[in-house]
Chains A and B, each alone.
Chain A
Amino acid sequence: MTIFSTDHKVIGKQYIGLSLFAVLIGMALSLVMRYHLVHPDAKVRLFQMLWPDGAPGGQMTPELYLSLMTMHGTIMVFFVLTTAPQSGFGNYFLPLQIGAHDMAFPVLNMLSFWTTALSFLVLMAAFVVEGGAPLSGWTAYPPLSALGKIAGPGQGLGQDLWVLSIALFCVASLMAAINFIATIIELRAPGVGYFDMPLTAWAWFVTALISLFAFAVLLAGGILLLLDRVAGTSFFIPGGLVVSDQIQARSGGSPILFQHLFWFFGHPEVYIAILPGMGVISTVLSVFSGKKVFGYRAMAYALLAIGGLGFLVWGHHMFISGMSPYSSVAFSVLTLAIGVPSAIKTFNWIATLWGGRIRFTAAMLYALGFVSLFITGGVTGLVLGQPGLDLYFHDTYFVVAHFHLIMGVAAIFAIFAALHYWFPLLYGRFLNETLGKIHFYGTFIGVYAVFVPLHFAGIAGNPRRYPDFKEYEFLKSLMPLHVGVTHAAYSLAAIQLLFFFNYFWSQRKGKLADKNPWGAATREWTHD
């Protein structure tokens, strides 16, 4: 096996490996942030060793906290949630499921992975350059992200590297999207019609379509932002801006314009993360219920509807940007409309379970956990889709809790379900079921213990992105809640070590698997 392989199975495993490495870094950063929130004055020698400028004497500066938050979000959204479910599992299993010999463009596939890997390295380099990592968040709103070094530590070369990394990621994702769509359109085996494909293949197809339209727009926004930073343009920098007592020479730009470009990509990105998971969950629920998926065609059309509507709702991320109330109502109605295909999927999952002979394997538990998280996170999405409520909740922990449940943890549960389900095909062995179930229960309880209280923190008006709550009288009463959340986060992280042990141990020592151990009906299990 060569690392520059053009084989879709190798590339799929490479994507999965990259995501597992990225998730470790992203998780570690979140733990450091949680630690800082409950011990804001602590002096930690490790912090000083890792970030000498950001933690002088071991005490974390607010700027370092914001840079960790930026990197956590960027790593998790792009290199975990976007990469593993689509490019990882999709590359490995799509050709097998539709009877193709490989992806349509194997060399492009290899280039796509290595461009993603390069993008990740460029992002990581932001940690070690002068000024450190950027602090403008994963959304990189200008003018903070556009001004350069004068805007703070990390806003110099660190922010340049961030923009470059995201531009590279866009190019890699566009290459991958072209490959997925061309493979499904042109390389389906004779007799495999669109409505003969498993829902996993449908989900990868719709996700690739979304990627094709969305990443090009983010690339455009990234190019314009980079030019504002390095070429003296003023696309996003408004006039009369005073930073560090200096009036900025540039004028006329619109920071809101970047928000439009970003969220035209950013909302579909939510579906890029979650739709492949929906496909996996549909398959796993069906296999372990011993029934066909209920309402197969409705499920496929619901995927298309979610993908299409996802491009019409970006404005709900910008209710507080001063948009017209008429626009807000339009975006709100369209946002709530996504509840219809989402509900079709949820009810069909439940109908698939109804009357089935359910086997509670680890994969099945994760699939059920996904449905639970999808409903919990979805319900709070309806709250945030109301402009009047969003004005209050927007910059609070309510939003943090909402998007972590629906976009982050639900998608990660789908990754766990997929790994348990497909591990026999990936490595010829089973993941240990007992360890898998212990890991499931610990993770399921852990994520609710972390994110449900954060909803209440948000309702109480707790702002997000604040590095030190003790500075504010009205937040002091919420500190016990944050202490509890932080301990839950430690426990949640600890139980993930069990998964990593299981993942690597089972590759060599796991129980050997038969050819089709779950009794599945899709092609990848019968492929030689």
Chain B
Amino acid sequence: MTNVARTGQTLLIVASSMLFAAFTSAMVVRRATGTDWIAPSVPVWLWAAALLALSASWLVMRGLYRPAALCGFLLVASQIAYAASLRMGDVAQSFAAVLVTAHAAHALFGACALWWKGERASLFWHFAGALWLYVLWLIGVWA
């Protein structure tokens, strides 16, 4: 990967991090100020989806980009299925839906980039994987 591409990806990661930092701070404030917060339930299979993200990163490190992208697409499918099951009228569930859907958009972008660009998308994919662990912790443990 060229220095320009690496720098570009790093900057994209900074922008994405700010987006999720903003969602997180909104969630923290909203939970603290309301009395209607009921933690969303996170099914076991969504926890298992973390393995897909980790597997994809493992495959990327071994140069198996298209299998890694397939893991990424499966992760996106599981995220969409979970988000679709949430009630937008419930505040905690709506935050979970926003976070998971926003991550799904990132994961879809990362998986497509892995499929077509291979190694050049590896840095972003590792970030997307780590970000998914964070989102899972946020909605499954902290919330």
Please list the residues of chain A having a beta carbon within 8 angstroms of any beta carbon in chain B.
104-105, 174, 177-178, 181-182, 185-187, 212-213, 215-217, 219-221, 223-224, 227, 231-235, 250-254, 257, 260-261, 264
* Bound CA span A215–B12, Å: 12
* Bound CA span A231–B84, Å: 12
Contacts A233-B88, A234-B91, A252-B91 known; A178 to B98 CB distance under 8 Å? no
Residues of B within 8 A of A235 (CB): 26, 30, 91, 94-95
- 19 pairs across A/B with beta carbons < 8 Å? A104-B4, A182-B11, A185-B7, A186-B3, A212-B15, A216-B15, A220-B23, A221-B26, A223-B98, A223-B102, A231-B88, A233-B91, A233-B94, A234-B91, A253-B91, A254-B33, A254-B34, A257-B26, A260-B29
Please give the number of chain B residues whose Cβ is less than 8 angstroms from any Cβ of chain A in the complex. Answer: 29
* Bound CA span A402–B66, Å: 56
What 8 A-B pairs come out closest when comparing CB atoms? A220-B22, A216-B18, A233-B94, A252-B34, A217-B22, A178-B11, A216-B19, A252-B36
Bitwise interface map of B from 41 to 56 toward A, beta carbon under 8 Å scored 1, else 0: 0000000000000000
Q: Is the CB of A182 within 8 A of B4?
A: yes
Q: Is the CB of A186 within 8 A of B22?
A: no
Residues of B within 8 A of A260 (CB): 25, 29
Please list the residues of chain B having a beta carbon within 8 angstroms of any beta carbon in chain A.
3-4, 7-8, 11-12, 14-16, 18-19, 21-23, 25-26, 29-30, 33-36, 88-89, 91, 94-95, 98, 102
Q: Is the CB of A257 within 8 A of B11?
A: no
Contacts A252-B91, A254-B33 known; A216 to B22 CB distance under 8 Å? yes
Q: Is the CB of A261 within 8 A of B11?
A: no
Residues of B within 8 A of A223 (CB): 98, 102
* Bound CA span A233–B99, Å: 14
Q: Which chain A residue lies CB-closest to B8?
A: A182
Residues of B within 8 A of A174 (CB): 15
Smallest beta-carbon distance A464→chain B, Å:
28
Q: Is the CB of B19 within 8 A of A220?
A: yes
Residues of B within 8 A of A253 (CB): 30, 34, 91
Smallest beta-carbon distance A269→chain B, Å:
15
* Bound CA span A181–B95, Å: 32
Q: Is the CB of B30 within 8 A of A254?
A: yes
Beyond known contacts A104-B7, A233-B89, A257-B29: 11 more, CB 8 A cutoff:
A105-B8, A212-B14, A220-B22, A220-B26, A221-B26, A223-B102, A224-B98, A235-B91, A254-B29, A254-B34, A260-B29
Q: Which chain A residue lies CB-closest to B14?
A: A212
Contacts between the two chains (Cβ within 8 Å), count? 95
Q: Which chain B residue lies CB-closest to A231?
A: B88
Q: Which chain B residue lies CB-closest to A224?
A: B26
Residues of A within 8 A of B15 (CB): 174, 177-178, 212, 215-216
Contacts A233-B94, A254-B30 known; A219 to B7 CB distance under 8 Å? no
Q: Is the CB of A187 within 8 A of B4?
A: yes
* Bound CA span A223–B19, Å: 10
Residues of B within 8 A of A264 (CB): 22
Smallest beta-carbon distance B14→chain A, Å:
6
Residues of A within 8 A of B26 (CB): 220-221, 224, 235, 257, 261
Q: Which chain B residue lies CB-closest to A213?
A: B18
Interface on chain A toward B: helix, strand, loop, or mixed SS?
helix
Q: Is the CB of B19 within 8 A of A178?
A: no
Smallest beta-carbon distance B85→chain A, Å:
15
Residues of B within 8 A of A186 (CB): 3-4, 7
Q: Which chain A residue lies CB-closest to B33?
A: A254
* Bound CA span A219–B35, Å: 27
Smallest beta-carbon distance A231→chain B, Å:
5
Contacts A182-B4, A254-B33 known; A227 to B98 CB distance under 8 Å? yes
Residues of B within 8 A of A234 (CB): 89, 91, 94
From A221, A251, A257, contact of B36 by CB (8 A): A251
* Bound CA span A80–B35, Å: 43
* Bound CA span A221–B21, Å: 11
Q: Which chain A residue lies CB-closest to B37?
A: A252
* Bound CA span A233–B97, Å: 10
Residues of A within 8 A of B16 (CB): 216
* Bound CA span A278–B46, Å: 50
Residues of B within 8 A of A224 (CB): 23, 26, 98
Q: Is the CB of A178 within 8 A of B88?
A: no
Contacts A178-B11, A178-B12, A212-B18 known; A227 to B35 CB distance under 8 Å? no
* Bound CA span A235–B102, Å: 16
* Bound CA span A24–B96, Å: 43
Q: Is the CB of B30 within 8 A of A104?
A: no
* Bound CA span A174–B22, Å: 15
* Bound CA span A212–B8, Å: 12
Smallest beta-carbon distance A216→chain B, Å:
4
* Bound CA span A231–B14, Å: 28
Q: Which chain A residue lies CB-closest to B87?
A: A232
* Bound CA span A186–B11, Å: 12
Residues of A within 8 A of B21 (CB): 217
Smallest beta-carbon distance A202→chain B, Å:
18
Smallest beta-carbon distance A261→chain B, Å:
6
* Bound CA span A233–B15, Å: 25
Of the listed residues A181, A182, A213, A260, the one surrounded by the most CB atoms of chain B closer than 10 A to its CB is A182
Smallest beta-carbon distance B43→chain A, Å:
21
Residues of A within 8 A of B14 (CB): 212-213
Residues of A within 8 A of B23 (CB): 220, 224
Q: Is the CB of B88 within 8 A of A227?
A: yes
Q: Is the CB of B4 within 8 A of A232?
A: no
* Bound CA span A221–B22, Å: 8
Residues of B within 8 A of A185 (CB): 7
Q: Is the CB of B22 within 8 A of A178?
A: no
Contacts A212-B11, A224-B98, A235-B94 known; A217 to B18 CB distance under 8 Å? yes
Residues of A within 8 A of B7 (CB): 104, 181-182, 185-186
Residues of B within 8 A of A187 (CB): 4
Q: Is the CB of A181 within 8 A of B29?
A: no
Q: Which chain B residue lies CB-closest to A220?
A: B22
* Bound CA span A216–B30, Å: 19
